[in-house]
Amino acid sequence: MLYQNILLIDDDEDDQEIFLTALESTRKPVRCTVLDSARKALSQIHRGELEADLIFLDLNMPLMNGQQFLTEIKKDEKLRKIPIIILSTSSNAATAMQVKQLGACHFFTKPDRFEDLVAILDEVLV
C-alpha cells in the first residue's frame, strides 16, 4: 500500500524535527502533517479538516495521551481502518503489549540512531 498523507502526533519539537529529517531522507513522495496535540488531531479528523492514511503517534502527551487517542479512533467505524504506528520513548514491554491490544499495528521505541529511524520509515512506507 502506498501512503500519501501521513500524520505525526508528537508534542516534542525536537522529535518532530528528527522525524521530518528522517522522512525527508527516505525520499518517499508523501505529505506529512505534524500536530503537537492528540486532542487537536482528533477534533480535526472528526471535523473532516484533516485526512491521514497513516498515523505516527507518541504516547506521553498532555491532555490526551496516545492510548486515549488510539481508543477514540478505534471507536469510529470509518477511522478505525487507519493504521497507527506508535513511536514512543518507552521501551516497556507491557506498554507495547497494551497498545497492540488497543489496535496499534506497530510499536517502536524512538531509536537513538538516526539511521535506525530512517530504516523504520523505509520499511513502513515501502
Pull the grid cell for residue 11.
508534542
Which is nearest to 85 in space by CA: 44, 121, 47?
A: 121
Close Cβ partners of 6 (under 8 Å, ≥ 6 residues apart) = 23, 30, 31, 32, 33, 52, 53, 54, 55, 56, 125
Taking CB under 8 A as the rule, does residue 43 contact another protein?
no
CA atoms within 13 A on the CB side of 75: 8
32 contributes a contact to another protein by CB under 8 A: no
Binding residue for another protein (CB under 8 A) from 71, 89, 100, 123? 89
Quick check: 21 binds another protein (CB under 8 A)?
yes
Nearer to another protein, 43 or 92 (CB): 92
- When asked if residue 20 is in the footprint of another protein (CB under 8 A), the reply is no
Which listed residue (2, 14, 48, 49) binds another protein by CB under 8 A? Answer: 14
Contact 26, 125 (CB under 8 A): yes
* Complex with another protein: residue 52 or 99, whichever CB lies closer: 99
Q: Name the site residues for another protein (rule: CB under 8 A).
A: 12, 14-15, 18, 21, 89-93, 110-115, 117
